Amino acid sequence: HAKELGGNSVQFFDPLLAIAIEQRRKLENDLRNAIREDEFVLYYQPIVDLVAGDLVGAEALIRWRHPERGLVPPDDFIPLAEESELINEIGLWALDVAVKRLALWREAGNRLYLSLNVSARQIPDGLPPKVILDATRRHGIEPGTLALEITEGVLLADLGDAARWLSEIRALGFPVYLDDFGTGYSSLSYLKRFAVDRLKVDKSFVRDIAHNISDRALVEAVVAMAKSLGIEVVAEGVEDPEHIQLLRGMGCRYAQGYYFSRPLPVEDFCAMCERIPLMLRNAER
Ligand code: C2E
Ligand code: MG
Ligand code: MG
Ligand code: MG
């Protein structure tokens, strides 16, 4: 540090740091314009029912079509958006697109549900339950078909407000999924205190269940625990047929991952949907 080196911090001009700061400022500016310029897009990744052997829903995952950088993944801009109110704007945009998509699917006789990611920062005031309800009512969407994915961090951040948000959301009939389960403070007492509808076991635990005994035991324990609490489990990061067989054996009902499909733009998603039952049958052999 400057002091330790006997200098004055002003003398330490680090050109790399300066470039990084400048890039970040530009990104933030671009992000501010992105909604106006209509640069965000939702991709959809299938969620399958391993028991029924079919597609049941999709997770909506945001991407940013940046004019110079191309398709930017959420991990490269959501954290930045979370540092400001921008995440709230983005969240409202995503809600709007999701309910419109559900309405179109419904018109087409399609019974799929969608799940939407919600950042801790959006809870409770960035995405009030009433706003979600109004959006679904406007488009004649049943609350049961729009799930909200939160992470354990939400429950830790502000117990009072987050708990109220959570119970209001569920009282209105919107399912709540606990995302990235296992990566945070996944304590049993939290699950008892904050009722959720599903757990999504993080892909880092699912990835190696075929070869790593402790990962397998961990996923198995999560499924058993969830079952005893009346909560369904979605395994994330399912990449090969061996995963499917193991998960089925554990009693894990739902799965999501590259084995079925990467997240896709809506047109490609719809084209892929009909292939799911066959893929599941193939995985049994
Ligand atoms: P997440 O909600 O845990 O989403 C799952 C991530 O795992 C997605 O990354 C998905 O593409 C990836 N994934 C799915 N299956 C597999 C697989 O089999 N193998 C591997 N290696 N990865 C798989 P993605 O789309 O890059 O999203 C990253 C994160 O960004 C999401 O994690 C979520 O936390 C956040 N995010 C995405 N969309 C939104 C949004 O609309 N709002 C907010 N607040 N956050 C979002
Ligand atoms: Mg998610
Ligand atoms: Mg996840
Ligand atoms: Mg994640």
Q: Give the ipTM.
A: 0.98
What pLDDT digit, counting tens, does each position of 34-86 carry? 989 999 999 999 999 999 999 999 999 999 999 999 999 999 999 999 998 99
User: HSE of 204 in the Cβ direction (CA atoms, 13 Å)?
Assistant: 6
- Could you tell me the distance, in angstroms and rounded to a whole number, from the CA of residue 234 to the centre of ligand 4? 13
Question: Under a CB-based contact definition with an 8 Å cutoff, are residues 142 and 102 in contact?
Answer: no
What separation in Å is there between the alpha carbon of 83 and the centre of ligand 2?
Answer: 19
Pocket lining: 203 vs ligand 1, CB cutoff 6 Å: yes
User: What's the gap in Å between 268 CA and the centre of ligand 2?
Assistant: 20
Cβ–ligand 1 distance for 202 under 6 Å, the answer no
**Tokens encoding 98:** 């999701």
Q: In this structure, which residues have their CB less than 5 angstroms from ion ligand 3?
A: 179-180
Q: Tens of pLDDT along 121-171?
A: 999 999 999 999 999 999 999 999 999 999 988 877 666 888 899 999 999
Amino acid 261 reads S
Q: Which residues pair with 149 in a beta bridge?
A: 117, 177
Ligand that comes closest to the CA of residue 79:
1
What is the rounded distance in angstroms from the CA atom of residue 151 to the CA atom of residue 221?
19
Q: Is the CB of 38 under 6 A from ligand 1?
A: no
Instruction: Kindly report, residue by residue over 229-257, the tens digit of the pLDDT.
Output: 999 999 999 999 999 999 999 999 999 99
Kindly state the tokens that stand for 145.
Answer: 């078909």
Find the angle CA(119)-CA(127)-CA(174) to the nearest 5 degrees: 90
In this prediction the pTM is: 0.93
* 237 Cβ inside 6 Å of ligand 1: yes
Read off the tokens for 139. Answer: 């488009």
